[in-house]
Amino acid sequence: MSLYEIPITHLSGIGEKKAALFKKLGVNTVGDMIEYYPRAYDNWSDTTPIGELVGGQTAVIRAKVATPVNNIRISGGRMMAKLSVCDDSGYLSLVFFNNKYISSMLRYGEEYLFMGKVAEDKFGLQMTSPEFSSAATSDAVTPVYNLTAGLSNRVMIKAAKEALGMLPEVIRDPLPYDILRHYDLCTLSYALQNIHFPSDLDAMERARRRLVFEELLVLNLGMRLMKRQSKEHTAVRMTTDYTAEFIDKLPFTLTGAQQRAIADCVSDMRDKPSPMNRLIQGDVGSGKTAVCAALCYHTVRNGYQAAFMAPTDILARQHYETFTKMFAGTDIRLELLTGSMTAAEKRKTRARIESGESDIVIGTHALLSESTVFSALGCAITDEQHRFGVAQRARLASKGEHPHVLVLSATPIPRTLGLIIYGDLDITIIDELPPGRSEVQTYFIGTDKRDRALGFIKKQVDEGRQAYIVCPLVEEGEGETPLENANDYAAELMLGVFRDYPVGILHGKMKPKEKDAVMAQFANNEISILVATTVVEVGVDVKNATVMMIENAERFGLSTLHQLRGRVGRGEYQSYCILISDNRGENTEQRLGTMCRTNNGFEIADMDLKLRGPGDFFGNRQHGLPELSIADFSDTETLAQSQEAAEKLLAISPDLSHDGMRALRAKIRRLFKETENTMN
């Protein structure tokens, strides 16, 4: 039996109650625990003499228990344990709360290592609830795990130790030996042991590099296998190019980049034996929707249905309206399918899709449901692909007999990541904006200048324009100040500066119908100022909006800020982005400074990666890849090595069917299966 099948309750001291807590951390099995790597390490070898401690510092001391533990009952029935410890240089008081075992764990006269924050009051220095371990048996480096309420680091350490003890003597290393040797990697058992309980920091580094390498390799191989599989199918051939007759009807002339994107896709759909599998990457406002419309038209004229999936209700409805205008005067039948429609509406719509009465279906995740059946899906398009997982992309495609697949993205991914993230896709880049756009002018100001900024917005609105004001939070009480709260903020504006202007509110907790109503009002200029959370981040297109003001701008990632800014400057008017923050930390200055300096999405993405680190690429799920447990894309050297290794292995066995690669295959399955489960 595999360790991934043994429930965590198998470990001693973990019953159903604790297991529920482990589950919160994603740890369900013994195998999961082994792969639940520490977030950080405590280095216990770096001790400070008590006499040199200063208040506020976090330190490790090596000290003997100098007094018996004194248990005191304090208010609320709580317990406090107090004692003194000493080394050659002085005495220190320790305080623990609600731990009745302290007196049995810390023995008078014995020596321990204590780690904690030193506080100073009028009675001298003390540590409250320090971590500790016996000086005689203590490890030099101990793991620090991400925790959840009710689970202590101590419990995690014990679980990890026991789980590691259950590893079979010889575990099957998924990496072939020559790969280990060639890239100077340690073995799996060494890596697992030392990632949790390293003998020193060098051993930890070695373990980490090996595990990162393996995870990136597995990801890489998975993406490549997916690409390979899609190439094995025969494509629906669309032999005649109908795009020109559609393009002629558009109210504008396509840019060269838009034309090239269409040509790439038409050629994929006509000339290749396997289905198209392409990403179109174009900065916000580059006109990806028109490209899709042309391809949908092309698909329908060739006798098939097209599906166009968007991540939010608002966006799906907006696309539906755009398409309705573009397809006016044709006999093409459009359909909208979103989760917010009534059950009866959905049923009728699905019936039309299944019978082939609908030609182009625009919708949200509702398209993915089992009850959505197409009669002849020829082309599946996913907008804002980073909002969807790899598995969801595949699910939309599975609604047809290997239809052509197109995904769209405005989130620029640093080039170094592109290959792995889009390993399964061919790529077209739209590197040109429609003519007549002037760059959005961006300013970074403190809250002391907010009134001036609001005055500026007023002037713009008086000239007939509209504005967005974004604040990070919605609910009452969520913010530290009222200004961080969209509802309160809007109320304040409505009663104050903008009392004579129509102000609207938009946030993620509203019902889809309410959101739509507000968006429609904004699109019709019945609302001049829209106070919103980041729900406006995705794709919304209102050409008349010229100001995007963002409160607490330091809280957003650069990619999000760039997306938000992309909501303005979409028409003929000069547009402005105002970033408000009182945070003058170096990092904030640099990040917001970057926004002011450039409108180039790639440059911004590179800077984001450099300044915030890759954690945020994972945190925000900016990529739709499976969640990784240890790897991090900023390690470009290991990334490149893992790519090289993936190619080597596939050269030996193109589908990894070779017997020696069985463990690797299992790893790939696990990584991608988890995506399917967590992406919803």
Q: Using CB under 6 A as the criterion, what x/- string covers residues 262-301 for binding ligand ADP?
A: --------------------x-xxxxxxx-----------
* Burial class for 381, CB neighbours closer than 10 Å (0-12, 13-18, 19+): buried
557 binds, among ligand ADP, Mg ion, none (CB under 5 to 8 A by kind): none
Q: Which one of Mg ion, ligand ADP, none interacts with residue 570, CB within 5 to 8 A by kind?
A: ligand ADP
Instruction: Report how far apart, in Å, the C-alpha atoms of 135 and of each of 62, 100, 138, 591 are.
Output: 7, 22, 5, 45
CA distance 656 to 386: 28
Residue in 8, 254, 461, 486 binding ligand ADP, rule: CB under 6 A:
254
CB 299 within 8 A of CB 498: no
Interface residue with ligand ADP among 93, 255, 599, 675 (CB under 6 A) is 255
Q: Which amino acid belongs to residue 562?
A: H
Contact 62, 115 (CB under 8 A): no
Which of 359, 424, 381, 366 has the alpha carbon at shortest distance from 219? Answer: 424
- Contact region for ligand ADP (CB under 6 A) — 413-421, 450-458, 537-545, 580-588? 537-545
Q: How far is the CB of 564 from ligand ADP (least distance, A)?
A: 13
Q: Determine the residue with CB nearest ligand ADP.
A: 287
Compute the least distance from the CB of residue 319 to ligand ADP, in Å.
9
Which DSSP symbol is given to 183?
T
606 binding partner (options ligand ADP, Mg ion, none; Cβ < 5 to 8 Å by kind): none
**Closer residue to ligand ADP, CB minimum distance, 157 or 292:** 292
Our CB check for ligand ADP shows the closer of 195 and 254 to be 254
Question: From residue 221 to residue 250, what is the string marking binding to Mg ion with x (rule CB under 5 A)?
Answer: ------------------------------
Q: Which two tokens stand for residue 59?
A: 């330190």
Q: Contact letters (x/-) for Mg ion, 517-546, by CB under 5 A?
A: ----------------------x-------
H or E stretch covering 493? helix 486-495
Q: Do residues 419 and 639 touch, judged by C-beta distance below 8 A?
A: no
Residues 430-459 interacting with ligand ADP (rule: CB under 6 A)? 434
Per-residue mark of binding to ligand ADP, 562-591 (x: CB under 6 A): --------x---------------------
Binding of ligand ADP by 196 (CB under 6 A):
no
Tokens 């996913």 label which residue?
382
Give dist(CA 461, CA 546) in Å, integer: 9
Alpha helices, DSSP H, located in 524-612: 558-565, 586-597, 601-612
252, HSE (Cβ side, Cα atoms, 13 Å):
13
587 Cβ contact list (under 8 Å, min separation 6):
611, 612
> Which long-range contacts does 554-557 make (Cβ < 8 Å, 24+ apart)?
554/581, 554/583, 554/585, 554/588, 554/591, 554/592, 555/472, 556/472, 557/608, 557/612, 557/616, 557/620, 557/622
Answer with the entry of ligand ADP, Mg ion, none that 49 interacts with (C-beta below 5 to 8 A by kind): none
Using CB under 6 A as the binding rule, the residues of this chain from 390 to 419 that contact ligand ADP are: 410
Nearest approach in angstroms of CB 537 to Mg ion is 11
Residue 69 or residue 561: which is nearer to Mg ion going by CB?
561
363: partner contacted, choices Mg ion, ligand ADP, none (Cβ within 5-8 A by kind): none
Judged by the rule CB under 5 A, the positions of this chain that interact with Mg ion are 539
Judged by the rule CB under 6 A, the positions of this chain that interact with ligand ADP are 252-255, 258, 282, 284-290, 410, 434, 539, 541, 543, 570
